[in-house]
Amino acid sequence: APMRRKDLEKSLAAGAVDDDRISSLKKKVGEGATPLSGNGYKVLLLQGLIGKAVRQASGHKEG
């Protein structure tokens, strides 16, 4: 089932987006997920997608 992470939403709304904040969000996004057998890689994919989406939405360039 989809998980809404209000804690991550609050973190995004709290201020400027920088590499440290994006890294923190990527680590937190998989917390609490219990992937089925053979699906653990999807957490890593989600972390990458979150990082990319936040960078694009904020106009923040990597680096």
What pLDDT digit, counting tens, does each position of 12-52 carry? 888 888 999 999 999 898 888 888 999 999 999 999 999 99
Q: Of residues 62 and 29, which shows the higher confidence score? A: 29
pTM of the predicted structure, to 2 decimals = 0.76
DSSP the chain: -----HHHHHHHHTS---HHHHHHHHHHHTTT--PPTT-THHHHHHHHHHHHHHHHHHTPPP-
* Residue 46: predicted pLDDT: 92
Q: How far is residue 16's CA from residue 61's CA, in Å, rounded to a whole number?
A: 13
Alpha-carbon gap, residue 14 to 28, rounded angstroms: 16
